[in-house]
């Protein structure tokens, strides 16, 4: 009897240890977000897509392939593969999957796999923030056989706000893009601008390999984005707060106030700058903070007024969220 009790005890301890070793969704995002961003910089694949595919294909890093072969994306051997191999029953019995020496190698090979195949080529013409286009494009190209694969990826991205990683410096989610022509303090809508020039400018933006088109101040054109219904621009290399304020008929103090900045702040190229007041709430209920997040970063990412963000979360001005903290964006956080 004692012998059986010892066996059962070892089984329980072993099972408990395995359960504790299981990676949560939040832990997976925190662990691999920087790797996804790095691959985006090198290979122009949205970090949100890479993360969502890793989460879905590897069950948050807990799948047999991820644990035994460091394979986070379910990539099979294919004829050209010369590396390690791992055999596993999937669609067919004893299928060959790529085995990697590290998670980093898996993430890098995922990028190379997509870039090297003709049927994924059109995806690289999309904007890096167009995660929906990428999701549906991957499904059409046959990355997975599941009929709801695109919707699953989009759900993972939006439920976990992964779109904020699609520009390294905490981007906002782009809802719409328009082009306007500015002259001094006058802002003319697209319909009243020189249409041939405006279309040419917009075409140049859309066809640029880089997500960013620098502002041609002498031509007076700006690309206007919207996030949470709030207009913003990306600062050009020759921009300063005075030039932005002038183009939108505002005072410098307005620009600083809209973006929760002080007068000594140094503007950086490509930085997101709102040109009207941010909203008091978001359609997204909450966001899980990660290492390096500040309340202002979250405020900019979701176009919510910083003071409102502090108020909703019952936090003191100047305090910052801890990694893993739920930051409420729509309603007041519950008081327990």
Top mean-pLDDT range of 69-73, 124-128, 144-148: 69-73
Same-domain status, 297 and 262 = no
Q: Which domain holds residue 217?
A: 177-274
Alpha carbon 326 to chain centroid, angstroms: 18
Give me the helix-helix angle, 103-115 and 47-58, nearest 10°: 120
Higher pLDDT, 195 or 124: 124
CA 177/CA 336 separation, integer angstroms? 41
Same-domain status, 309 and 242 = no
**pLDDT tens digits along 168-181:** 544 344 444 444 43
Residue that is last in its domain, among 250, 274, 298: 274
Residue that is last in its domain, among 274, 297, 317: 274
Same-domain status, 133 and 48 = yes
Residue 288 backbone dihedrals phi, psi, to 5 degrees: -95, 115
In a domain, 234, yes or no: yes
Same-domain status, 257 and 145 = no
**pLDDT tens digits along 78-124:** 888 899 999 988 778 888 999 999 999 999 999 999 999 998 999 99
- 306 neighbors 259 (Cβ within 8 angstroms): no
Same-domain status, 300 and 228 = no
Strands 177-183 and 221-227, by their bridges, are antiparallel
Same-domain status, 211 and 136 = no
Same-domain status, 264 and 299 = no
- Count: domains in the chain: 3
In a domain, 211, yes or no: yes
In a domain, 242, yes or no: yes
In a domain, 6, yes or no: no
Segment holding 234, helix H or strand E: strand 230-234
Same-domain status, 135 and 198 = no
Same-domain status, 252 and 320 = no
- 123 neighbors 153 (Cβ within 8 angstroms): no
In a domain, 17, yes or no: no
Nearest residue to 113 via CA among 140, 146, 88, 77: 77
Nearest residue to 228 via CA among 124, 156, 290, 309: 309
Same-domain status, 186 and 158 = no
Same-domain status, 259 and 291 = no
Same-domain status, 46 and 123 = yes
The CATH number assigned to the domain holding 42 equals: 1.10.530.10
Asked if pLDDT for residue 15 goes beyond 50, the answer is no
In a domain, 89, yes or no: no
**pLDDT tens digits along 239-291:** 899 989 988 888 999 999 999 998 888 898 888 899 999 999 888 888 888 88
In a domain, 138, yes or no: yes
Higher pLDDT, 148 or 18: 148
Binned at pLDDT 50, 70 and 90, residue 336 comes out as low
In a domain, 185, yes or no: yes
Asked if pLDDT for residue 2 goes beyond 70, the answer is no
CA 315/CA 309 separation, integer angstroms? 8
């Amino acid at each position: 009897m004692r012998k059986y009790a010892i066996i059962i005890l070892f089984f329980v301890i072993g099972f408990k240890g395995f359960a504790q070793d299981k990676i949560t969704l939040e832990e997976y995002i925190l662990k691999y977000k920087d790797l996804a961003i790095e691959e985006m910089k090198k290979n122009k694949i949205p970090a949100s897509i890479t993360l969502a595919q890793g989460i879905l294909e590897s069950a948050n890093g807990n799948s047999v392939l991820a644990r035994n072969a460091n394979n986070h994306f379910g990539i099979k051997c294919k004829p050209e593969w010369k590396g390690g191999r791992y055999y596993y029953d999937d669609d067919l019995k004893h299928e060959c999957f790529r085995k990697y020496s590290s998670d980093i190698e898996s993430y890098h090979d995922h990028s190379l796999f997509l870039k090297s195949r003709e049927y994924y080529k059109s995806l690289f013409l999309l904007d890096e923030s167009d995660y929906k286009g990428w999701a549906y494009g991957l499904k059409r190209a046959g990355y997975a056989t599941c009929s709801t694969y695109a919707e699953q990826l989009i759900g993972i991205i939006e439920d976990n706000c992964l779109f904020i990683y699609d520009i390294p410096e905490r981007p906002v989610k782009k809802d719409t893009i328009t082009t306007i022509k500015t002259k001094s303090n006058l802002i003319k809508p697209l319909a009243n601008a020189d249409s041939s020039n405006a279309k040419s400018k917009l075409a140049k933006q859309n066809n640029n390999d880089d997500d960013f088109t620098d502002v041609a101040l002498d031509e007076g054109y700006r690309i206007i984005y919207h996030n949470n219904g709030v207009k913003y621009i990306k600062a050009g290399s020759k921009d300063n707060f005075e030039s932005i304020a002038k183009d939108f008929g505002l005072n410098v103090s307005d620009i600083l106030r809209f973006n929760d900045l002080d007068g000594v702040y140094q503007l950086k190229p490509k930085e997101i700058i709102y040109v009207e007041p941010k909203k008091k709430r978001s359609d997204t209920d909450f966001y899980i903070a990660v290492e390096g997040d500040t309340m202002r970063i979250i405020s900019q990412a979701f176009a919510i007024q910083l003071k409102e963000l502090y108020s909703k979360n019952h936090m003191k001005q100047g305090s910052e969220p801890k990694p893993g903290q739920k930051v409420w964006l729509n309603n007041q956080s519950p008081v327990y």
